[in-house]
Amino acid sequence: MSPHPKINNSFEQVKCRANKLKPEMLAMDIKTLEEERADLLSDKAGESEFWECLKDQIEQVKGLSYVLKCDCGEEYKVEVNL
């Protein structure tokens, strides 16, 4: 039994509309992906900056060294050893 022509015509109309929307949907998806990529690159740059800053702070702390004198007269050297 063959489908009714009206049903077939409706299917073709839906198919035609879907084909027209597809490029718009793809463009939207690409735009979204580009925005997400830019966000990720920004996050990566921020993360790199954070690690560089942390590394610099660690280098500054490495050189810290103090001599503490106890009330009893003993002296103790305190330093950061990483």
Give the residue ranges of DSSP H helices in the chain: 5-62
pLDDT in tens, 21-62: 667 666 767 788 888 888 888 888 889 999 999 998 888 888
Contact present, 65 and 78 (Cβ < 8 Å): yes
Contact present, 5 and 13 (Cβ < 8 Å): no
Across residues 69-80, what is the average pLDDT? Answer: 89
- Look at residue 18 in the predicted model and tell me its pLDDT: 73
- Look at residue 28 in the predicted model and tell me its pLDDT: 67
Residue 6: pLDDT band by 50, 70, 90 thresholds? low
- Look at residue 57 in the predicted model and tell me its pLDDT: 87
